[in-house]
Amino acid sequence: MKTKIIALFLLSVLVTENAMAFCGFYVAKADTKLFNKTSQIILVRDGNRTTITMNNDFQGDVKDFAMVVPVPVVLKENDIRISDQSVFEALDAYSGPRLVEYYDENPCYRYDYLEDYSYSRSESISMVQKSSMKEKEKGLGVKVEAEYSIGEYDILILSATESVGLKTWLTQNGYKIPGTANEVLDPYIKSNMKFFVVKVNLDNKKALGFEHLRPIQISFDSPKFMLPIRLGMANANGPQDMIVYAFTKTGRVECTNYRTVKIPTDRNVPLDIRNNFGKFYVDLFEKSWRYQGKNCVFLEYAWNVTPSWGGVKCDPCVGPPPLTADLGRAGVNWANQGNVFFTRLHVRYSRDKFPQDLNFQVTPNTEHFQGRYILTNPAGGDFECEDGQQYLKDLCYKRKHEVEELAVLTGWDVTRYGKYITEYNHLIKDNQFKKNDFTPVIPQDSDPGSPGNGGKWIFTLFFLVGVGGLFILLQRIPVTRQA
């Protein structure tokens, strides 16, 4: 029976306790379900100790599932655990890019208001098979270093002396190997890496009663801090997405052999994005990925999530924070004893753009970051007062800025937003103002990471105000005449 080799990765997780949202509240999130072919990895790093929890989007009959992961050492049985899918769901919901919503205050009304803090918490390999395998190993340079049956999985730890022998061994033992496997296996063999090989034990799976395959967690000591992605690309049709949830004691995790780039954030966008946030974020990511040359790692979230830390862990929170127990299942063994810093990375990789595995480092950088997009609802009531009339003029420019930001972030055609920009202009008494051209100006090949032209307009406005203020100040300074 042939089986297919799936990708390989690593990771670990951790959880936090309650967190409070700032003013404004969560509207929507951009979770991993938006992207096809998305793998999720939890990566925990403490000194030279790495814990990796692997999940994947395998589709098909579980009897066809198999996974081969390069690992730096021969894993012992107690280095391998079965984790829980709910940990990934909690981390994804908590750290995903978010859409937030705020409300303007009518400047004609002066009243105290209460901020509404909306917060919710939210062995079985037969002896005959073993004998056969050992005979094959001798001639192929492949050695079975260890074998375990854990949960619904049969696991082998292999070492090899050359890639052709390993490929032949895998083929002879029922693994369907991609034609390009030789060239991706060879570097790992030359680096003295071992191979963590997993199949599903159908009898155990039936006895355990789990419908889906559960994540596998491995731990090992090694100075190497990396994720092997090349094997996963050997049988991939096009780019793949991977979300890495990384946890350390000190600060952010960053990639060292590819650029780590912040996803564009804190942008004001039109109100109708409320109903289309999924497509908005998918297109934003696509444009940012292309603009960055398709070979960088995006930072989507970074925050101190230490359970004992009393600070806010998001603004606002997309979902309830992971529980301390979840952190333990993710491999964060120090959650109740020290600092926990959470980094979410999103990488879209392909063979031509990512010829190397992902190498990481733990940094001292504890700057907080989140992918965040902002809706601003206009004030209600009448705007007869002088401040109200100025508010309406500013609202027109703000909406023009939102539309320009939308075009810069996603590349969408925004010509349909003309009425949105001038929606409240009929309430403006200054007819001369209404004759202005409010057509959005979108630069070609604009950088999604830079503010749109609306940002330039605001900068220009502040610049002119500053120059005017300086001129007035100079006029008031008395001139001292020479004797």
DSSP 49-60: EEEEEEE----S
Q: Which band of pLDDT confidence, cut at 50, 70 and 90, is reported for residue 199?
A: confident
Q: Which band of pLDDT confidence, cut at 50, 70 and 90, is reported for residue 404?
A: very high
Q: Which band of pLDDT confidence, cut at 50, 70 and 90, is reported for residue 59?
A: low
Q: Give the least confident one: 36-45, 264-273, 326-335.
A: 36-45
DSSP-based three-state secondary structure for 316: coil
Q: Which pLDDT does position 468 carry in this prediction? A: 54
Strands (E) located in 72-170? 80-82, 98-103, 142-150, 153-160
Q: Which pLDDT does position 446 carry in this prediction? A: 67
Residue 386 has pLDDT above 50, yes or no: yes
- Stated length of the chain: 483
Phi then psi for 156, rounded to 5 degrees? -120, 145
Residue type, 37: K
Tokens 């600060």, residue located: 251
The dihedral sign for the CA sequence 79, 84, 89, 94: negative
Residue 91 has pLDDT above 80, yes or no: yes
Q: Please say whether the beta carbons of 185 and 70 come within 8 A.
A: no
Rounded Cα gap, residues 102 and 175, in angstroms: 54
Residue 210 has pLDDT above 70, yes or no: yes
| Angle value at C-alpha 312, between 309 and 317, nearest 5 degrees | 130
Rounded Cα gap, residues 136 and 162, in angstroms: 14
Residue 129 has pLDDT above 60, yes or no: no
Q: Which band of pLDDT confidence, cut at 50, 70 and 90, is reported for residue 250?
A: very high
Crossing angle between the packed helical segments 163-172 and 127-140, to the nearest 10 degrees: 160
DSSP-based three-state secondary structure for 401: helix
CA within 13 Å, CB half, 33: 6
Q: Which pLDDT does position 287 carry in this prediction? A: 95
Rounded Cα gap, residues 295 and 229, in angstroms: 13
pLDDT in tens, 262-314: 999 999 999 999 999 999 999 999 999 999 999 999 999 999 888 776 666 66
Q: Which pLDDT does position 136 carry in this prediction? A: 57
pTM: 0.79
CA dist list (Å): 387 to 223, 392, 393: 62, 9, 10
User: Which of 266, 268, 267, 265 is CA-nearest to residue 376?
Assistant: 268
What sections of 411-452 are H helices per DSSP?
418-421, 431-434
Q: Please say whether the beta carbons of 240 and 232 come within 8 A.
A: yes
Rounded Cα gap, residues 104 and 106, in angstroms: 7
Residue type, 308: S
User: Which of 171, 226, 164 is CA-nearest to residue 189?
Assistant: 164
Please, which residues bridge with residue 373 across strands? Answer: 99, 267
Q: Which pLDDT does position 6 carry in this prediction? A: 38
Tokens 């391998």, residue located: 80
| Angle value at C-alpha 434, between 433 and 435, nearest 5 degrees | 90
Q: Please say whether the beta carbons of 374 and 103 come within 8 A.
A: no
User: Which of 148, 187, 189 is CA-nearest to residue 165?
Assistant: 189
Residue type, 116: D
Residue 1 has pLDDT above 50, yes or no: no
Q: Which band of pLDDT confidence, cut at 50, 70 and 90, is reported for residue 466?
A: low
Q: Which band of pLDDT confidence, cut at 50, 70 and 90, is reported for residue 11?
A: very low
| Angle value at C-alpha 57, between 54 and 60, nearest 5 degrees | 120
Question: Is 372 or 442 the better-scoring residue by pLDDT?
Answer: 372
Q: Which pLDDT does position 311 carry in this prediction? A: 63
Question: Is 120 or 203 the better-scoring residue by pLDDT?
Answer: 203
Neighbours of 317 (CB within 10 A): 27
Q: Please say whether the beta carbons of 335 and 325 come within 8 A.
A: no
Measure CA 14 to chain center. 15
Rounded Cα gap, residues 427 and 393, in angstroms: 10
Give the CA radius of gyration of the chain. 28
Tokens 């579980």, residue located: 62
User: Which of 256, 264, 266 is CA-nearest to residue 298?
Assistant: 264
Q: List, as one string, the DSSP characters of 248-275.
A: ESSS-EEESSSEEEEPP-SEE--GGGGG
